Structures are given as structure tokens and as C-alpha cells.
Structure 1
Amino acid sequence: MSDKYSREDIVNSVPQKGFFGHPKGLFTLFFTEFWERFSYYGMRAILVYYMYYELSQGGLGLDRTVALSIMSIYGSLVYMSGIIGGWLADRVFGTSKAVFYGGILIMLGHIALAIPGSLSLFFVSMVLIVLGTGLLKPNVSSVVGEIYAENDDRRDAGFSIFYMGINLGAFIAPLIVGTVGMDINFHLGFSIAAVGMFLGLVLFLVTKKKNLGLAGTIVHNPLTPAEKSRTIKIFSVAAVVIAAVVVLGLQYGFLTFDSFIAAVGILGILIPTAYFIVMYRSKKTNEVERSRLVAYIPLFIAAVMFWSIQEQGSTILAAYADTRTDLEFAGITISPAWFQSLNPLFIITLAPVFAWLWVKLGTRQPSIPQKFSLGLLFAGLSFLVILLPAYFGGTDALVNPLWLVLSYLIVVLGELCLSPVGLSATTKLAPSAFSAQTMSLWFLSNAAAQAINAQLVKFYTVENEMMYFGIIGGASIALSIILFLAAPAIQRYMKGVR
């Protein structure tokens, strides 16, 4: 199946004009991802509140620290599951089916959240959304790449338009789902998220044949019959082992929130470490590529530090918005969920500015390690800013919401220095035999960060608020300085990549 059609055949099967001068398929993928991100970020905007609000308030009544840890583990598992989703698409059923199956699982997960029920139903929804997002998220981006010829000058602009769809969905969702979920009913909010994913699925189904042609339908590296048999055996054994561990763990009490969070935390570190070791030691990796892998390690560590701070916007800062912030401002009542719209809003606004800046600077722009150090600097400053209200006014008074807005703005400045640069650097530094897996490794930096966050959030209390933000923010700034000083050495190991 993988040899039946060439790359050119796939591109020629896609109508090349029809969406702002881009292939028609971009319309399908733009709105599929828009609705998927709408559903995901809408759910995420109210999920932590649903977990720790009391039963009388419509929540699950979990301990707040446990809720924050679960939220971090949730995010970590979502990024880890992308490895499985990418493998299934490449070896079993193709990216188009992966997107569709993923969307169905996500929708079912939101439906499970929309049903007032038990904690068990909540965990069922988590499993469905983690698996669904792992199938859909990486593979919808892969289909975008397939609708353009390799030398098509529209390619980068097409990904920019697609990226805008992601952030538009993420911006609108907390305003709608957040308002309904917080002001009316959590389950009604989750229902809107489910409807959003349903709309995305309908649009994908109705338009994909006409707009996408062969894109996403080809299994590029299908399993041989022998591999398929072996894979089924491995998955069956793994499923039995996992089921046995869960049953025994629940029966004998060693499977608890804390033990599960610790296990995911260990995996968050071990999996990327294993990736590095396998790629470095592989006979398919030459000396130049090994040198570039060595250069990639400090960048990966910096990314973990950055995402650790950035992702606390949906955990610690979300709780801060709910409990420490004065939500009466300029004559309006602010929903704490609305603050989740700030990150995508600032990205939509500032991404073109940064793109223009790098082009304007040309050869004078900072190197990749220097841009990463700037990202860490801004991340650290965003945490130092949010400790100032407690320093000036104590931890008893409610904080002006503009402090939170400023914190979110500063970390976005860091994100725009690090995130797109990290994607680009990954494609440049990856060993040729492991190009796709190195991209998975980049996303694992976020998984590792959130796995670490699941432990970090346990140390946050209102009483030690200043110490918490100060230590983490200070550590980020210190790492930023170290990385900046080490940038010339790292650059040498990159062997000509800039």
C-alpha cells in the first residue's frame, strides 16, 4: 500500500486552489483542528475547578492539591500518547483514519464528562480523551504536510494559517465553555465541548473526500503479516498485564493517586532518556548527527524547564485566578476560566511580530541556544511578577487581575522565543533515520515537564506562595544565564546548523 502512490500522486489528488490561495484540504484540516482545540481547551478551562469544587457546587470534591496533580498528569499523558498515535498511523491505518478515530474518542470522553456521575466516570473520560488526542493531534498536522509539494513556497504560510486555527479555537473556548461551565453547570460546559468535537468530525467526514484526495489515506510503513502477528501478541500481553496490575493494585491498595502520579512522573523522564540513548548509539546515526544530538540535550532540558512554568497556567495560575484574584474589575465580573484565553490571544497577536523581527534581524538574530535562553528568562520573570502582589500586599488580600494578565503575557514572550524555534531546531538536528521520532521527542519535553509539575504543585500553598514562585522562577532565570553562556559551545556541536 505504501508503494502504490508517490508523493506527487498524493499532492495531485488534492485540489490546489480554494482556501485563501492554498489547497482546499487546508480548509478541512483548519476547521477540524479548530473544533478539536475548541473542545480540548474548553474542557481544560473548567476541568481543574470541576475536580476540586465541592459536591454542593457541582464538582467532584477532590483535594485541591490532588486535583492540580491530576491536571498535570493528564497533560503529560496527552503528549505521551502522541507516540502511540503516530505509530498506529504510520504502521496500521493511516493518518486520516487516526484523525477520525481520535475525534470519536475525544467526543465520547467529553460526553462522559457531561454525564453527572462518579469519579470512575471521570477517569473513563480521561482515558478516552488522552487516547483520542494522541491519535488526532500529531496526525492532523502530518496531513497538512501531505497536501503540499515539498518545494511548494506556500507550505510555511499554510502551516501558519493552520496554527492560527489552533489558537483561535483555544482562545474562544474558555470564553464560551468557561462561562457556561462556571456560571451555569459544569456538565453543560462539557456538553458544549462534546458538540464542538462533533462539529469537527462532521466537517471532516463531509469534506475530506473532495478536499483531501489521497492525503492521509496511505499507510507509509505498513506492518508485514509477521510483524502484525507479533504486535497483536505484544499488545494483548501488555493489556493483560496492565489489567492485572490495576485489579491487584486496587484490591491491595498500592494503586493510589500518589503511586500513579509517581509512575507517570518516572515515565516522563525515562522515555525521552531512552530515546536519546537509542538514537545516539544507533549504527544509523553518523558522527555529525551524534554531535548534533549532544547539542540537542541542553535545548531539551531548557524546554522541559520552560514548559514546566508555562503549563502551570492551567493548574497553579488557574487556581490562583479562582482563589487569589479580585474578579470584579472595571464594572464586570470576570470568570476565572477566561484567563485561559490569554495565552492564545497573545500568541495570535504577537506571533507575526516575532516572525517579522527574526526576518528583520537576519544574520544578526540570536542563535538557537540564545533564543532558548531568552525563553527561559521570560518564563522565570513571569513567575517573579506573580509573586510581587503577595510581597506588596500579603497573601490575605485579593490580587488585581492585571497581575495575572502580565504574567501570562511575559510567558508568551518566552514561548514565541522557544516553541517555534524548538520545532525548527528539531527538524534540523534530528538524525535522518530518526526524523519523525525526534519530533516525538520534542513533544515529550512537554510531557516530562507536566510529569514533574505533578510533583511540584504539591508544594504550593497560599502561605508559601512567594517561595514557590520565587524558587521556580529563579531556577529558570539561572538556567537561562547558564544556557546563554554555554551557547557558543552548543553552537559548535550543532555542526553548521543555525
Structure 2
Amino acid sequence: MSDITKEKIVESVPQRGFFGHPRGLFTLFFTEFWERFSYYGMRAILIYYMYYEVTRGGLGMDQNTATAIMSIYGSLVYMSGIIGGWLADRVFGTSRAVFYGGIFIMLGHIVLAIPGGAGLLFTSMALIVLGTGLLKPNASTLVGELYSEKDARRDSGFSIYYMGVNLGGFVAPLTVGTIGTEINFHLGFGLAAVGMFLGLLVFVFTRKGSLGLAGMNVANPLTGGEKKRAITRIVIGVIVIAIVGVIAIFMGWLTLKSFVLVVACLGILIPICYFTVMYRSNKTTDVERSRLLAYIPLFIASVMFWSIQEQGSTILARFADQRTQLHFLGINVSPAWFQSLNPLFIIILAPVFAWLWTKMGDRQPIIPRKFSIGILFAGLSFLVILLPAYFGGDNALVSPLWLVLSYFLVVIGELCLSPVGLSATTKLAPAAFSAQTMSLWFLSNAAAQAINALLTNFYREETEMIYFGVIGGVSILLSVILYLFAPKIQSYMKGIR
């Protein structure tokens, strides 16, 4: 364990320089802006690229197949965070993880920009999965390292950081989405690669003067013996996976359906294993164990929320393309533009929520109740979207304002849950597993999208009302349960609010 303490890291960071926050927030704000520009730009057009006909520049896949691939892809992107978290905690620290991750992401978008069919598509996905696993959780961990545990600016800082994430997400569908759907998909993917390159430039040229020691510490470095065991296990694991893969292909077992099922199971089992390992570790104190127990219901609520929110790029993307009136107020609307609504509302409302939490101080809702409000609004966003089918039938084109309202409601929920969850994760994490606990937070998204890969098979125009109604209703029920048990959960946090 390095002798660089949390206090030394905070002291090394210039504590003013970005809207009253540490200067390092500038570096991470704009690094994530460009990373999210590249990711959300690619995501805004990816499902259309997969299921549009070849004559329209797409791959001509079946729509349900394209939707399942999108969900599994999203799940693997966040699941790979466990690799990035482990490497940061045990090998090279969070700062280098962010840098290496950006390089992989940029290469992935470059590959996707090359016309080449499904082969290059899956190669690109693999690179972006690895890169995002390195960059995404560790950039958020770096934000947490800028502040002391008692710093009242912490939640506000995460909200500002989250606004930077969503600025990139807002601009991307309007630029990459328009170029991809109106001109050429591969030009759109190329623009996403340029975005990640700009993010790397920001990080490299500003981190020295703004981040101090943040990200340089390896929280739980491998010993000599552990390195040998880790290398042995990795080699054996790769060999076993390769052998199983070859056998599965030869026997005809490796189908999209079986792969979806495997990833869905992993999405549930990996978090369980993670919680168990951290809880039982002799490096975890009794107070940290109590906080881990409090984290479990928050994790479950997060899975419910992201299951709904992430369908904005799958089910709601199809809804926008096929069920929505795209000529509105004299404007021809691209279906990709709807994916700018979520980040747009966050840009507008994030400063409001940042101000609100700071203004309320100790009077603000406790963390579990913020989560319960978050999944309540997520459920309402799905109940709203079923209304057009109820009033107009499941074949008529609906006003785009229904989608606007749905995205607005889920954003209110997101601002009550996501930045608060990031902040809570950095505070509840065991010291020896700081980056890996952030990876665990992103595993809630991975689990949600893995479950979505199974759920979305039930979506059809004739089952539209049942689909949105059941999922929305379950989310609201879970919200009520979490709200009632919030004081008990809070007691296990041992002083963390």
C-alpha cells in the first residue's frame, strides 16, 4: 500500500480554479465531455446502422437482433469497468487508466469509421468495451479524489462533472447523428474518433498542473507473488475461454440467444461476487463492511433505474424512428436527435440540482430517499410513453412531445440518482477497493442492460402498452419500498450522508 494518503492527495490539488471547485475538475470535465461526445455520438446512430437496409448504408440486420446487440454491447461496456478498476487499484493507478482507455476508445471509433461490415463492427465494439472499462469508472474516481470526505462541495462537484458528461452527450446526436443518418454512417463514426482524440489532448496537457497526486496512487499494488499468480490466472483464463469458444462454435452452441443469456447471468453474478470479495476481505474494516451492506439496496435501485434509462438508445430509438411523427412544426426531425433530449435536460437542470443540494445542506433528503425519488420518476417516464398507444392505438404515429415528456421525467430521476450515486460510491467504498467499487457502481448499468437484452425481446407494437406499463409499475413499487426502508439503510452508512 502506498503511503500517499487521501489527505495528501487533496492537499496536492489546487482547490480553486473552476467555478469555486478544484482546478482538476476542469481537466476531468472536458476529458469526459469529449469521451461522451464520441460514445453518445456513436450510440445515437449505431442501432440504425445495424438495422437499416444496405441500400441506406446499414447492415440490414433484424430489428430485434440489433436491439439485443445494442443492449449486450452496453452491458459489456460497463461490465469491463471491473477490469479497469482492478488495473487501476492494483497495477498503474487511475490517471494512467484514463489515458490508456482513451486510446482504445479512439481506435475503436477509427475501426468503425472503416466500411467493412459486421466483422469491423464487432472489432470496434471490443476496443470500445476495453477502453471505456479503463476510462469511465476511473475518471469518476479521480473526481472523488479532488475532495475530502467532509467537503460540502462534493455532491455539487459531481453534479457539475455530470453536466460536462451530458454536454458531450447533447452535442453528439445533433452532429454525429445528423451526419451519420443524413450523409454517411462511417463519416459519423469518424467524427466520434476525432472527439476522443480531443479529449486525450485535454487530459494530457492539463493534468500535471491541475490533478496533483490524484490518480497517481496505486491503492492496493500487487506484490511480487501476486503478480505471478495474476499473470498465471489471466493466461489460464484466456486459454479456457478460447477453448470453450471454439467448442461452442463447433457444436453450434454459440448463438446470439445463448450469448445474451450468458451475459445476463454474468451481469447478476459478477456484482454478487464483487460484494462478497470486498465484504470478506481482511483489508475491509468493520465500518466499511457496514457501508457495503447499505450499498446493496442502492445498487438494486440503480439497476432498476438504468434498465429504463438505457432503453432510450434501443426501444425508444425504435419508437422515435417508427412510431413518431418526424415532421413537426415544419421541421424534419432526425430520429437520432431525440437522444439529445436526455443530456439537454440534464444541462438545464444539473445546475439547479447542484444549487439545491448545496442550499439545503443537512436538510436535503438522505441518499436512499434520493434514490427512491430517482426510480419513481423513471417509472413515470415509462407510464407516460404508453399513453399514446392507449389514446391513438398501436399503429398511429404519435406526437414527438410524448417522447420529450418521457425523457424529461427520466432526467429528473437521473439527477436524483446518478451523480448522487457516484458521490456515495466514493464515500462508501472500502479504501483498498476504491476504484473497484466505482467499477461496481457501473456494473449496475451493465446488469440493467444485460437484463434489457432479454426484456426487449418482448417489445412489439401490439404489446407496447403492457411492456411500458409493467416495467414502469415495477419501478414505482420498488421506489415506495426503498423510501420506507431509507432510515434503516442510512443507519448502516455510519455517518455518511
- Counterpart check, 1:466 vs 2:465: yes
Q: Alpha-carbon deviations, 1:22-44, whole Å to 9, x = none?
A: 55544333222211111011001
- 1:317 is aligned with what amino acid? L
Deviation at 1:93, TM superposition (A): 2.4
Q: List runs of 5+ in structure 2 lacking aligned partners.
A: none
Q: Distance in 2 between matches of 1:155 and 1:417?
A: 15
User: Residue 445 of structure 2 corresponds to which residue in structure 1?
Assistant: 446
User: Residue 486 of structure 1 corresponds to which residue in structure 2?
Assistant: 485
Q: Distance in 2 between matches of 1:19 and 1:290?
A: 35
User: Residue 142 of structure 2 corresponds to which residue in structure 1?
Assistant: 143
User: Residue 247 of structure 1 corresponds to which residue in structure 2?
Assistant: 246
User: Residue 233 of structure 1 corresponds to which residue in structure 2?
Assistant: 232
Q: Distance in 2 between matches of 1:349 and 1:210?
A: 30
Q: TM-score, normalised by structure 2?
A: 0.91
Q: Distance in 2 between matches of 1:309 and 1:235?
A: 35
Q: Distance in 2 between matches of 1:368 and 1:239?
A: 40
Deviation at 1:205, TM superposition (A): 3.0
- Counterpart check, 1:412 vs 2:411: yes
Q: Distance in 2 between matches of 1:292 and 1:204?
A: 33
Q: Distance in 1 between matches of 2:218 and 2:434?
A: 17
Q: Alpha-carbon deviations, 1:179-233, whole Å to 9, x = none?
A: 1001111111001001111122233334444554554344343322322222222
Deviation at 1:122, TM superposition (A): 0.7
Q: Distance in 2 between matches of 1:494 and 1:30?
A: 29
Q: List runs of 5+ in structure 1 lacking aligned partners.
A: none
Matched residue SS, 2:28? helix
Matched residue SS, 2:386? helix
Q: Distance in 1 between matches of 2:273 and 2:110?
A: 36
Deviation at 1:446, TM superposition (A): 1.2
User: Residue 59 of structure 2 corresponds to which residue in structure 1?
Assistant: 60
Q: Distance in 2 between matches of 1:278 and 1:28?
A: 33
Structure 1 residues 2-81: aligned runs within 5 Å: 2-3=2-3, 19-20=18-19, 24-81=23-80
Whether the 8 Å contact between 2:144 and 2:423 is mirrored in structure 1 is: no
Tell me: CA distance 1:415–1:287, structure 2 relative to 1, closer, same or farther (3 Å): same
Once the two structures are overlaid, the 10-residue window that deviates more, 293-302 or 116-125, is 293-302
User: Residue 104 of structure 2 corresponds to which residue in structure 1?
Assistant: 105
Q: Alpha-carbon deviations, 1:375-407, whole Å to 9, x = none?
A: 222111111110110110011111100000000
Matched residue SS, 1:272? helix
Aligned positions, number: 497
Matched residue SS, 1:138? helix
Whether the 8 Å contact between 2:382 and 2:472 is mirrored in structure 1 is: yes
Deviation at 1:10, TM superposition (A): 5.6
Structure 1 residues 121-160: aligned runs within 5 Å: 121-146=120-145, 158-160=157-159
Q: TM-score, normalised by structure 1?
A: 0.91
Q: Distance in 2 between matches of 1:296 and 1:9?
A: 27
Q: Distance in 2 between matches of 1:489 and 1:94?
A: 35
Tell me: CA distance 1:118–1:329, structure 2 relative to 1, closer, same or farther (3 Å): same
User: Residue 332 of structure 2 corresponds to which residue in structure 1?
Assistant: 333
Q: Distance in 2 between matches of 1:169 and 1:264?
A: 29
User: Residue 115 of structure 1 corresponds to which residue in structure 2?
Assistant: 114
User: Residue 193 of structure 1 corresponds to which residue in structure 2?
Assistant: 192
Q: Distance in 1 between matches of 2:286 and 2:419?
A: 27
User: Residue 382 of structure 1 corresponds to which residue in structure 2?
Assistant: 381
User: Residue 322 of structure 2 corresponds to which residue in structure 1?
Assistant: 323
Once the two structures are overlaid, the 10-residue window that deviates more, 292-301 or 269-278, is 292-301
User: Residue 167 of structure 1 corresponds to which residue in structure 2?
Assistant: 166
Whether the 8 Å contact between 2:152 and 2:358 is mirrored in structure 1 is: no
Whether the 8 Å contact between 2:166 and 2:347 is mirrored in structure 1 is: yes
Once the two structures are overlaid, the 10-residue window that deviates more, 196-205 or 168-177, is 196-205
- 1:68 is aligned with what amino acid? T
Deviation at 1:148, TM superposition (A): 5.7
Q: Distance in 2 between matches of 1:495 and 1:462?
A: 48
Q: Distance in 2 between matches of 1:218 and 1:369?
A: 31
Q: Distance in 2 between matches of 1:219 and 1:292?
A: 22
Whether the 8 Å contact between 2:89 and 2:434 is mirrored in structure 1 is: no
Deviation at 1:54, TM superposition (A): 1.4
Q: Distance in 2 between matches of 1:185 and 1:474?
A: 40
Tell me: CA distance 1:423–1:9, structure 2 relative to 1, closer, same or farther (3 Å): closer
Q: Alpha-carbon deviations, 1:206-265, whole Å to 9, x = none?
A: 444455455434434332232222222211111222222223322322111111111110
User: Residue 222 of structure 2 corresponds to which residue in structure 1?
Assistant: 223
Whether the 8 Å contact between 2:298 and 2:371 is mirrored in structure 1 is: yes
Q: Distance in 2 between matches of 1:184 and 1:103?
A: 27
Tell me: CA distance 1:376–1:113, structure 2 relative to 1, closer, same or farther (3 Å): same
- Counterpart check, 1:271 vs 2:266: no
Tell me: CA distance 1:15–1:470, structure 2 relative to 1, closer, same or farther (3 Å): closer
